[in-house]
Amino acid sequence: MFGKILIANRGEVAVRVIRACKEMGIETVAVYSEADAEALHVSMADESYCIGGPAARDSYLNMDAILTLALRVGADAIHPGYGMLAENAEFAARCEENGITLIGPGARVTEAMGQKEIAREIARGAGVPIAEGSDILADAAEAVAAANKVGYPVILKARSGGGGKGIRIVREETAVAGAFDEVQKEAAGAFGDDGVFLERYLENVRHVEVQLLADRDGTVLVLGDRDCSVQRRNQKLIEECPAPELSDDLRARLHEAARSLAKAVSYVTVGTVEFLVRGGEFWFLEMNTRLQVEHSVTEMVTGIDIVEWQIRTAAGAAIPYTQEQIASGRHAIECRICAESGKDCLPATGRVAMLHVPGGVDVRFDSALYANCEITPYYDSLLGKLVVCANTRDAAIRKMKCALSEFVLVGVPNNREMHMKFMEDGSFLAGRYDTGIAGRVVRE
């Protein structure tokens, strides 16, 4: 097992990883920007070091600074969390070159699955259904030709995109060229890679993902599935485990497709395969070669510490569970509490004047918030994840309504009230909703 892990991230996920390491007896090293000098993860870690200015590119994305520090403090491994450098194949390769384990599937798999057009071909080879689409597009004219061939609507995607960035939906030929230029520029700025391809845009679908845990011996466990269809501007707002309204046959096919893809690339540690689902059909969307924000709901249902086993499998440990031992009889829901204000739900800042976190059986709030901490404009607007679990979906919804009504955050505008709307919406209560639900509920 690793003796010391450097956490190359901030906020809620850094706190989550530090807690797991402490329980495992592993020393922790935190990095932070000048803007995060008073952040919770800085005080929780055994060692903490400032590595740059407030902008992520000057600190949390500074590979040289992070690797130099890891070598200097004698870290055996680096945990990238999610976002930041978590799916950066160059960083994974540089860690390997320096004899440091990046807690993930390795540079080869990260690179292959991070390039979406390559991931599509791997999925096709593994027998996983994919939406009709194109290869990497050379220019706007080629994008127009490909869109006309595939048929409208289409979705333009950045090869290295993620987090809702680098995508545009196009419904007519006249808009293709402009959208292509926008995606290419956004992708180059956000990911340093301006590769763009397109797919047929599937409407009225659900976004369902399958959580995997794999070890170096070739064992691949499915830790259930999650529905992430409640999204706004391609950003997830609510997740639940298991996904509601799936037939046993469809669920089994989704699980087997995810397992087949993982085996095709000899996947190790924690990963998630995302699908678009409509009726009894599904299509591969992407594979996330990292810890997911919404891993918490799966932990609540299965009772398995996903972060702990991500670390253990990265260190070479074998998974001691069988598929039949994975619990799946309960239901969990997660609401992402974000700093935002106004009708347009724009990111907000402020200082936490008062914070009351709900309690009770099977209620969890994963966050780095504390009284008087400051929310700055430099990073993602996620403040924390309110998670509940119960024996049935109806009971979980009731528990979430109670938890939301008890949650108090003064000083930073946030989206608690919006989540209450979802917990009272008829289509959400019935479990019969798709990726269009947020647009309707938020407008009402």
The separation between CA 148 and the C-alpha centre of its own chain, rounded to angstroms, equals 32
∠ CA 19-24-30, rounded to 5°: 45
Q: Quick one: average pLDDT of 17-46?
A: 98
- pLDDT of 163 higher than 70: no
Report pLDDT digits (tens) over 71-120: 999 999 999 999 999 999 999 999 999 999 999 999 999 999 988 889 99
Catalytic residue among 251, 290, 330, 364: 290
Of 19, 14, 17, nearest to 36 by C-alpha is 14
Catalytic residue at 290? yes
Of 193, 138, 133, nearest to 162 by C-alpha is 193
pLDDT of amino acid 193: 84
User: Strands 27-33, 4-7: parallel, antiparallel or unpaired by DSSP?
Assistant: parallel
CB-based contact 243:226 (threshold 8 Å)? yes
CB-based contact 438:232 (threshold 8 Å)? yes
pLDDT of amino acid 399: 98
Of 15, 6, 8, 7, nearest to 384 by C-alpha is 15
Which domains, and CATH codes, for the chain?
A: 4-103 (3.40.50.20), 132-200 (3.30.1490.20), 206-443 (3.30.470.20)
CA distances in angstroms from 230 to 212, 354, 421, listed in the order given: 22, 28, 12
Radius of gyration of the chain (CA): 21
Report pLDDT digits (tens) over 190-235: 777 899 999 999 888 999 999 999 999 999 999 999 999 999 887 8
Report pLDDT digits (tens) over 423-443: 999 999 999 999 999 988 877
Report pLDDT digits (tens) over 361-418: 999 999 999 999 999 999 999 999 999 999 999 999 999 999 999 999 999 999 999 9
Predicted confidence band at 188 (pLDDT cuts at 50, 70, 90)? confident
Question: Bigger pLDDT: 164 or 389?
Answer: 389
How much of the chain exceeds pLDDT 70, in percent?
Answer: 99
∠ CA 86-216-83, rounded to 5°: 10
pLDDT of amino acid 388: 98
pLDDT of amino acid 440: 85
- pTM listed for this prediction: 0.93
Q: Which residues touch 151 (CB under 8 Å, ≥6 apart)?
A: 200
Q: Kindly provide the b/e burial profile for residues 262-281, where b requires at least 16 CB atoms within 10 angstroms of the residue's own CB.
A: beebebbbbbbbbbbbeeee
Tell me the pLDDT of the chain averaged across its residues: 95
Q: Name the amino acid, one letter, at 88.
A: N
Q: How far apart are CA 113 and CA 258, in angstroms?
A: 13
